[in-house]
Chain A
């Protein structure tokens, strides 16, 4: 038992030395996660801040001007052009100068006064469907809000139902609150999977794996010795991203750190398992590289971060069950934003345990039994 432990410690030490000895590789493990987190924190946001729009005001009344003032004053919309005729609309959209063109009809004021609900037209550039959709919804919110206010102040009966929304856990519905915690899993998965996928493949390619296999190391010991350093590096990277989220983006953390690190530990075990799984099958580094890219891309896209898993075709929903990132993102969101406890997280944590429990032993078995 002591022998086993000492052997594993020697292997862990050797792995860490090999990874961290070179200053360049030390930096490449620390700088990219922090940079990526900063970049994605700013870039990957669905919030609209500066939507360029063009205006075609046929009505030119006091009421239409008041509506325009409300649009311009929203802080979200920037008027880039004021059009005179309808045929200008096509050009300004095609050149991508404006994302939206808002047309106020001739009878806007009269319509309001008559209570006939005049139609404000919004033309959006559908080439960017996400942004266009959000912007349209925002415009309609402003316009209906304006109309309701106008009706109120003019003694007309308002709409019979009025909706009030309150977003829990992210009161201002900032995408960043959603995105940055998800990066903890996403970025570290990329790094740890690549690191482990390369590790055995590199040793096979350089012949050092044979040298390792003729020593008294058992496959399970090699597996542990390879997994632990990668997980240590993964946890360090997670911590860095967590620090960026809290110190730089100041996203409030509502859960327990112990719970978060338990989740991260299980998640890293699962993704290191998949990395070693790839590495144990690959004959050389190139195959390992391709193998991890082939898996990483679907893992990212089908993690539920960019598209809700519930919207996916059923067969893909089953695939997401073996995707550790799916659980990691869900677990971090629940802990970070909701402060969820173990009872709520148990099923997802068990799923991660299951992934690690299959991939790690398989990789260990393949170390010795891969036919070469």
Chain B
């Protein structure tokens, strides 16, 4: 048998696709995109929001037609016969259509029915799907009651129920905790390596791209580079360094300073130190780093470093992501900004928050970390006075915001997880309304609004309905609005989810600057590496507090792996797994 020339399940040549926004401008979603996905390989489409990943996947799935270019999927020209393609592929969109009021089994049956999967095939495939996804125990549970990670697994199972020849996954791990993320990827890798399935996955998590065979790095509709992950990583080879943080300085302050240096492409806090990527390999010694006492050593490049090198060449970035408050916060440091004692919140017989206690000092950056459903948001809502506690006490700026007088709320700013300003009102109208809501008026109101628009570079969008702002600017407007009244305490719920790496670095630059001016910042996040920006963090799982301390203390929970320092994610997984094992062992005894 002579093997025929390998036919690629997906071949794309010079694809173009443009959209027209409601505001009239045209957006190039895809601009001259070519790539090939080989049989039995895993291809990752990597890039920030708006890079064109979803558009590309939708073209491959035959849900849209390209304006120009050639696209063959499984030997079929998609635009000619989308149905023939759809009959043979599996496509899991970002928001997979699970029926929340149906059980796991019913959802699976429904998708099997929809795809005409016969009873015999079901007998074969169901056990395998349940084994793979570990959902066997939850067959009767309503899909709406599953955690985020389990929902994604169920979505994947529903997509796989008719054994597709090509699998398309659109950001399958967004909003999924690290543990579930690893499990989900284990499933995908198994499908590729054991079953020889061809998979194309889009992701904005750069560490995930390292697991694939072929990475397509996209930005603003263009392919910046493609190749094996190590080829992408090689772009940063020899330019990455770890710089040790001087004693007594938070890593984030050093990071913020380094990030603004010319010749520095990227700087992120990592394990208490700062990882930098330089524009040229030779500059490490020449870096004007303060008094020159900073210790540094070379570090092996990661995919993310290579990505940032590619990115720096095309994306403009604001180096001045610092910001100055008109009146630096007056609260004395060392005072308690937030005190939570034995906090409990139950919904019916479900305990969302289970005897959690912690304290945040003024001027600290405090992080709440945990998987979806860990109780982060519930705790957050109780702190902001949006939800009553079932038990326990909490004081924010010396008052319980739920029962305190309205004036106490003037001291806090709140940025919700979802964009929650008035979408149909313009940027100016939103700022004006919230400024008045916080009691600003006259000259001071005008000054503060001008400040917010200047600090967050919103001037160009003054009259645009805020719902039509590009993603990153929505976030900026939300932050600007929350800071109009110069609060002492700023609450940020999952503020960086869905933001691209550049936007996230800018965001943390601002947070660092605020904290340096005495503002207490409380954040929730599921990006574990962002914990490095915090002074202290608490790790929550299933409503219980598992660990609390400085990032270094938390990292110490995990053992060093292959000679490298454990990352925050390693530590998180170690802590959660230990706790879950502990509970599993207690159960038979109790």
Tell me whether A372 and B384 are in contact (CB under 8 A): no
Stretch at the interface among B118-126, B266-274, B423-431: B423-431
Tell me whether A214 and B386 are in contact (CB under 8 A): yes
Tell me whether B438 and A216 are in contact (CB under 8 A): yes
Tell me whether B425 and A214 are in contact (CB under 8 A): no
CB-CB < 8 A to B406: which residues of A?
Answer: 216-218
CB-CB < 8 A to A216: which residues of B?
Answer: 406-407, 409-410, 437-439
Q: Of all chain B residues, which has the CB nearest A14?
A: B433
Tell me whether B387 and A14 are in contact (CB under 8 A): no
Q: Of all chain A residues, which has the CB nearest B412?
A: A214
CB-CB < 8 A to A214: which residues of B?
Answer: 384-386, 401, 409, 412, 414, 491
In the bound assembly, the distance between CA atoms of A22 and B422 in angstroms comes to 13
**A213 an interface residue at 8 Å Cβ cutoff?**
yes
Tell me whether B387 and A215 are in contact (CB under 8 A): no
CB-CB < 8 A to B436: which residues of A?
Answer: 6-7, 9-10
**Binary interface profile of A, 12-38, with partner B (CB < 8 Å = 1, else 0)?**
011001100110000000000000000
Q: Of all chain B residues, which has the CB nearest A218?
A: B406
CB-CB < 8 A to A215: which residues of B?
Answer: 409, 434, 437-438
In the bound assembly, the distance between CA atoms of A208 and B425 in angstroms comes to 12
Interface residues of A in 99-128 (CB under 8 A from B): none
Q: Of all chain B residues, which has the CB nearest A217?
A: B437
- Report the minimum CB–CB distance from A267 to chain B (whole Å): 29
Interface residues of A in 214-259 (CB under 8 A from B): 214-218
Tell me whether B422 and A210 are in contact (CB under 8 A): no
CB-CB < 8 A to A9: which residues of B?
Answer: 436
- Given A216-B438, A216-B439, A211–B416 Cβ distance below 8 Å? yes
Size bracket of the B interface: 20 to 34
**Binary interface profile of A, 29-68, with partner B (CB < 8 Å = 1, else 0)?**
0000000000000000000000000000000000000000
- Given A214-B412, A216-B406, A218-B406, A208–B437 Cβ distance below 8 Å? no
Interface residues of B in 416-465 (CB under 8 A from A): 416, 418-425, 429, 432-434, 436-439, 441
- Cβ-neighbour of B420 out of A6, A21, A210, A372 (below 8 A): A210
In the bound assembly, the distance between CA atoms of A311 and B421 in angstroms comes to 51
Tell me whether B386 and A210 are in contact (CB under 8 A): yes
Tell me whether A14 and B438 are in contact (CB under 8 A): no
In the bound assembly, the distance between CA atoms of A6 and B409 in angstroms comes to 17
**Binary interface profile of A, 263-302, with partner B (CB < 8 Å = 1, else 0)?**
0000000000000000000000000000000000000000
Tell me whether A211 and B441 are in contact (CB under 8 A): no
Decide if the interface of chain B is mainly helix, strand, loop or mixed. loop
- Given A210-B416, A211-B416, A216-B410, A14–B439 Cβ distance below 8 Å? no
Tell me whether A208 and B414 are in contact (CB under 8 A): no
Q: Which of A17, A216, A217 has the most chain B CB atoms inside 10 A of its CB?
A: A216
Interface residues of A in 170-184 (CB under 8 A from B): none
Tell me whether A213 and B425 are in contact (CB under 8 A): no
- Report the minimum CB–CB distance from B417 to chain A (whole Å): 8
Tell me whether B424 and A22 are in contact (CB under 8 A): yes
CB-CB < 8 A to A11: which residues of B?
Answer: 433, 437
- Cβ-neighbour of A14 out of B385, B410, B419, B425 (below 8 A): B425
**Binary interface profile of A, 148-187, with partner B (CB < 8 Å = 1, else 0)?**
0000000000000000000000000000000000000000
Interface residues of A in 311-340 (CB under 8 A from B): none
Q: Which of B425, B429, B439 has the most chain A CB atoms inside 10 A of its CB?
A: B439
Q: Of all chain A residues, which has the CB nearest B487?
A: A214
**A308 an interface residue at 8 Å Cβ cutoff?**
no
In the bound assembly, the distance between CA atoms of A371 and B352 in angstroms comes to 14
**A95 an interface residue at 8 Å Cβ cutoff?**
no
- Report the minimum CB–CB distance from A224 to chain B (whole Å): 14
CB-CB < 8 A to B410: which residues of A?
Answer: 216
Tell me whether A6 and B439 are in contact (CB under 8 A): yes
Q: Which of A211, A212, A372 has the most chain B CB atoms inside 10 A of its CB?
A: A211
CB-CB < 8 A to A210: which residues of B?
Answer: 381, 384, 386, 414, 416, 420
**A206 an interface residue at 8 Å Cβ cutoff?**
yes
Q: Of all chain B residues, which has the CB nearest A211?
A: B420
**A207 an interface residue at 8 Å Cβ cutoff?**
yes
- Report the minimum CB–CB distance from A229 to chain B (whole Å): 13
CB-CB < 8 A to A6: which residues of B?
Answer: 436, 439, 441
Q: Which of A11, A13, A212, A214 has the most chain B CB atoms inside 10 A of its CB?
A: A214
- Report the minimum CB–CB distance from A237 to chain B (whole Å): 22
Tell me whether B409 and A18 are in contact (CB under 8 A): no
In the bound assembly, the distance between CA atoms of A3 and B410 in angstroms comes to 12
In the bound assembly, the distance between CA atoms of A369 and B386 in angstroms comes to 9
CB-CB < 8 A to B421: which residues of A?
Answer: 208, 211
Tell me whether B387 and A372 are in contact (CB under 8 A): yes
- Cβ-neighbour of A206 out of B381, B384, B420, B429 (below 8 A): B420
- Cβ-neighbour of B422 out of A208, A218, A368 (below 8 A): A208
Tell me whether B385 and A213 are in contact (CB under 8 A): yes
CB-CB < 8 A to B385: which residues of A?
Answer: 213-214
In the bound assembly, the distance between CA atoms of A369 and B422 in angstroms comes to 23
CB-CB < 8 A to A14: which residues of B?
Answer: 422, 425, 429, 433
CB-CB < 8 A to B422: which residues of A?
Answer: 14, 18, 208
- Report the minimum CB–CB distance from B99 to chain A (whole Å): 16
Tell me whether B420 and A13 are in contact (CB under 8 A): no
In the bound assembly, the distance between CA atoms of A206 and B436 in angstroms comes to 21
Could you list 20 examples of A-B contacts with CB < 8 Å? A3-B439, A7-B436, A7-B439, A10-B433, A14-B429, A21-B424, A21-B425, A207-B419, A210-B416, A210-B420, A211-B414, A212-B437, A213-B385, A214-B385, A214-B412, A215-B438, A216-B410, A217-B406, A368-B402, A371-B388
Q: With contacts A3-B439, A7-B436, A14-B433 known, what are 16 further pairs, Cβ within 8 A?
A: A10-B432, A10-B437, A13-B433, A17-B429, A206-B423, A207-B416, A207-B418, A208-B421, A210-B414, A210-B420, A215-B434, A216-B410, A216-B439, A218-B406, A368-B402, A372-B387
6 shortest A-B CB distances, which residue pairs? Answer: A10-B436, A207-B420, A216-B406, A215-B437, A214-B414, A14-B433
